[in-house]
Structure 1
């Protein structure tokens, strides 16, 4: 448990082939996966500059920890692209969720953390920020607002994983895989 951020709630993997990554986790008994081929952001900035990021995301839970798979679909500037361009693939960030995003965001900045990228999905209650901590701790820290609909979706995914019997392992935009 972090005294600053709370409990780790998610491990984010940046991958080149999201289908292969889902299949790998399914073989290890993790699922079901909720897949969105084209994530719609309200805004997205990389190092303070607007960036037209296009990405696919898949989410599943292993117990209380959510696994996020991200495949960037274009060459827009992002920490995901930086990670892949450095020759890596796999675990890129750990995330902490909050229902008081602005307070945690302000606290992180007051402690000297620097935002590498940030955006929103689904309005003001869907904000997220990636803190540029890769070179000091080996991974990026993400903070994410779950006070709105995103929190309810994450709860649904956790509950689906708790009772998953192995059937219907990929749900969502499977036609776009």
Structure 2
């Protein structure tokens, strides 16, 4: 099976600050910022838990870059790598598209990479973090290339292609 990395994501204290700093250093973006992304359900390490997070999405060459922050206290796939209160930040995951999130997560679990977290957004979109940190130093995010996702990726890419300067950040709402 051949997978393509679609996204590189960094855990940070503030997605807006991180996006602007990355833009200034490397020319990435512009960025679309979603605050408090609504979830219908989130299960971390087999236990349902609250998971309030925000993300900034931009294009960096051929790959989407995401900055993520956790807004609530408590365990999550983010906190698995960057414990609460540690003040540590960095690469959290790369993301790939798969036909079936649950089937791929089960296949990877069979290879020794456990499911760290599975979440469902209020619109039914599913994403999962598989714990590949011991082998690769980061987690792997899985999601299916449904039209809403591929359209979002295309919109971010087109914004980068058209960007002529100006506002680096645009706030968006996710459902």
TM-score range, shorter chain: 0.7 to 0.9
CA deviation digits over 1:49-90, x for unaligned, max 9?
111111111100112211011110111210212333255201
- Matches of 2:40 and 2:149, distance apart in 1: 13
Residue 169 of structure 1 and its aligned partner are, at CA, apart by 1.0
> How much is the aligned-residue C-alpha RMSD, in angstroms?
2.0
Map of 1:23 onto structure 2:
20
Map of 1:94 onto structure 2:
94
Of 80, 83, 107, 2:81 maps to 83
User: Normalising by structure 2, what TM-score?
Assistant: 0.87
* Distance of aligned partners of 1:46 and 1:22 in 2 relative to their CA distance in 1, 3 Å threshold: same
**Which ranges of structure 2 fall in alignment gaps of 5 or more residues?**
none
Q: 1:42 aligns to what SS in structure 2?
A: strand
Q: Would you say the 8 A contact 2:28–2:61 is kept in 1?
A: no
Map of 2:6 onto structure 1:
9
**Which ranges of structure 1 fall in alignment gaps of 5 or more residues?**
none
Map of 1:117 onto structure 2:
117
CA deviation digits over 1:118-171, x for unaligned, max 9?
1122544x2111111112221111111221412211221112112211222101
Q: Which runs of 4+ in 1 moved over 4 A?
A: none
Map of 1:73 onto structure 2:
71
* Distance of aligned partners of 1:112 and 1:129 in 2 relative to their CA distance in 1, 3 Å threshold: same
How many residues align structurally? 170
- Matches of 1:165 and 1:131, distance apart in 2: 37
